[in-house]
Amino acid sequence: MHASWMRHIGSATGDTSCEALSLRVREITKNEDRMTLSSIDPQSDAAPLAEDLYRHYRELERTIRVNEQSTRTTYRSPVNFIESMQMPRHRWFPYKEGFSPSFVKEFLSASVKIEDGLILDPFSGSGTTPLVAGELRLRGLGFDVSPLTSFVAKTKAVVMSAAELRSLRDVIFDFDKSPLRSRAPEPNNATVQRYFETEVLEALLRSKAFFQEIDCPKINALFKLAFLSAIEPFSTHRKAGNGVKKKTRYSWPVSDADCMSAVKRFMIQKLEMFAADIEHTPEFIPPEFRQESCLGDALSAEVEDVSAVLTSPPYANCFDYSKIYMSELWLGDFFKSKTDQQAFRQASVRSHVHATWADRYNEFGIPIVDDVIRRHIEQQDLWSPRIGSMLSGYFADLGNLLDNLRGRVRSGGRLGFVVGNSFYGGVAVATDLLLADLGRQSGYEVDEVRVYRGVIPSSQQYQKLGNNRKYMRESMVVLRRP
């Protein structure tokens, strides 16, 4: 248990023992009635605990350098994916959870001194970090449990000869002229089917049947990626928050022929862009991507001599990516049954409440999260009773990863973790400060917490945060292996 935290808990009595901490928590949580969010006011029993938590954050800030690059609430920050949609290869698939290639390049250029090491991203998403590493002539390796993003990342790393590019353009021509009489089966998910007008879904399934017959793996993958990119633009729904919402402005073609023509035209434009990017992108070292978890024993002995780590773990915001990317996962045949969806959830980091995990890695957690934040949150009337255990599990998972990485990163190697802070039960969960402290406990030095963007809280959160609104932010925690 942190000595500083115990000092705050026992400040009223002068007792800084672990028994004082337990007594304090019991006093605050002894009321069996579940409190609502509005009960966290200056007169409530929980208010002293919340104030102790913020006091602890301030004490961490005395020993951790917080570098406020920007606190503006903007989506045009370096840790946002907007820039990627204008850059070759990176623009092939819209993935809003990613960050910009120039941000990765800046970090790696400052972090990697010897060019024969490995650049690792344990949560690689659509592959930006390993791809930029390859562009810098560095070896890149990415891990991700999502079959969708693993496919996207691998496809963006494709290298083709001049003959293969000619074959790709020939198949694009054939696709343009094809009547597309064959049809792929509908996805085994009624909800996904309802996200499309009948004629539009028909056009998508006929386009899918065409590329399913392509024998060349590279060309097949590029067609599939173009198909996946067409799904949201032609859907009646768009991604929003932790799921999808019906579009308020959406017009679709009125006939089968018009639908087919529109889908074809969209995919062909994408495919021609892919071909141009492959042809004109300078040679790079193709990175490796593995569809598996980075936790536990997944980092095998061959993952060694790591020069730098740059990653963005899923934020502890309860987002379920099997819901957000539901249409792509089912139409892309990454999910064929509910069992596949549940297996994906089980394999993920404990950043959401849509799975039940066995206890794991408890020895790597944070006492403040387990003994204070979790107990406080479990007394609140939140939308899910699992949020407290999720937070404990989240930091335990990241603690396990940090422990696994310590013996694999070179001395002096830097690790960058882009994280977003969250808000539950009337208090901010300062993931950046807590992760920095966890890194310190795991044997790393903390270079800084670099704040890139403020996060706009809801009106209710705004009132509850008061002078602690600064903790609603998106940051990069920079660690260094001694």
48-145+287-319+336-480 CATH: 3.40.50.150
Is the pLDDT at 30 greater than 80, yes or no? no
| Verdict on whether the full-model pTM lies above 0.85 | yes
Going by pLDDT thresholds of 50, 70 and 90, the confidence category of residue 385 is confident
Is the pLDDT at 239 greater than 60, yes or no? yes
Q: 381 — alpha (psi -120 to 50), left (phi > 0) or beta?
A: beta
- Going by C-beta distance under 8 Å and a sequence separation of 6 or more, which residues neighbour residue 327? 192, 195, 231, 232, 235, 237, 244
Mean pLDDT across the chain, nearest whole number?
A: 86
Contact 208, 202 (CB under 8 A): no
Q: What is the pLDDT of residues 262-318, one digit of tens each?
A: 999 999 999 999 999 999 987 789 999 999 999 988 776 678 899 999 999 999 999
Q: Among the ranges 69-83, 192-206, 451-465, which has the highest mean pLDDT value?
A: 192-206
Q: What is the pLDDT of residues 415-466, one digit of tens each?
A: 999 999 999 988 899 999 999 999 999 999 999 999 998 887 677 776 777 7
Higher pLDDT residue, 379 or 218?
218
**Region(s) of the chain under CATH 3.40.50.150:** 48-145+287-319+336-480
Contact 444, 414 (CB under 8 A): no
- Residue 219: predicted pLDDT: 99
Going by pLDDT thresholds of 50, 70 and 90, the confidence category of residue 68 is confident
Contact 175, 261 (CB under 8 A): no
Burial (0-12, 13-18, 19+ Cβ within 10 Å), 388: buried
Going by pLDDT thresholds of 50, 70 and 90, the confidence category of residue 347 is very high
Task: Produce one character per residue of 211-248: b if its CB has 16 or more CB atoms within 10 Å, e if not.
Answer: beebeeebbbbbbbbbbbbbbbebbebebeeeebeeee
- Residue 383: predicted pLDDT: 85
